[in-house]
Amino acid sequence: MKEVRQTKMPELSPVKPAVVTERRTGERSEPGRSGVTTAGVNHHGPLPVSVPDPEVLERPRRRRFTAAYKLRILQEADAVRESGQIGALLRREGLYSSHLTTWRRQRDTGALEALRPQKRGRKARRQDPLIQENDQLRRANNRLLRKLKQAETIIEFQKKISELLGIPLSHPEAEGND
């Protein structure tokens, strides 16, 4: 007979509660970086488990910079002579180097006018009067085609009814040949 072995499962320790950190409105949580974890235990040992944050945060707002602010930052960045000072300026203002690149390009192409915030999204099409007239004529043509199809359907129906009732119809083609 075969011998049956019973193994005892190791007991799991209770899960520790999550550390709760306070956040400001609009701040996103990053549990992996902020240390918000709980320690779970499996048969291999403790395993860090992140706890999802149930709070739904409002959508972050896009920052808008005024033309004067952009020019001031560009002047400060252009005045920098030592290495590392541009990085310090960017960190202090909460900006990225791509901001400087974009703003410099805008400044070079059109000075202060180019630095003003631009409306996002599709550009409005300027309507050519010929295009408007063409669209209007197409709509009128489609409307008339629908009316013609309806009239032809009514005439076909009238022909079938007159045929069923035995009423002779005069044909306009035959009358025009006289």
pLDDT digits (tens, 9 = 90+) for 9-21: 556 555 555 454 5
Sorting pLDDT into bands at 50, 70 and 90, what band is 34?
very low
Instruction: Please give the DSSP secondary-structure letter assigned to residue 43.
Output: T
Instruction: Please give the DSSP secondary-structure letter assigned to residue 13.
Output: P
Residue 15 phi/psi, 5° resolution?
A: -75, 130
Give me the pLDDT at residue 107, please.
83
Mean pLDDT of 153-158: 92
The length of the chain is 178
Q: Is the pLDDT of residue 63 over 80?
A: yes
Domain borders along the chain are 67-115, 129-166
DSSP letters for 76-89: HHHH--STTHHHHH
Give me the pLDDT at residue 156, please.
93
* pTM for this model (two decimals): 0.35
Sorting pLDDT into bands at 50, 70 and 90, what band is 92?
very high
Please provide the average confidence, as pLDDT, over all residues in the chain: 75
114 versus 178: which is more confidently predicted? Answer: 114
Give me the pLDDT at residue 178, please.
46
Q: Is the pLDDT of residue 87 over 50?
A: yes
- Sequence-separated (6 or more) residues with CB below 8 Å from residue 61: 26
What whole-number distance in Å separates Cα of residue 96 and Cα of residue 140? Answer: 54
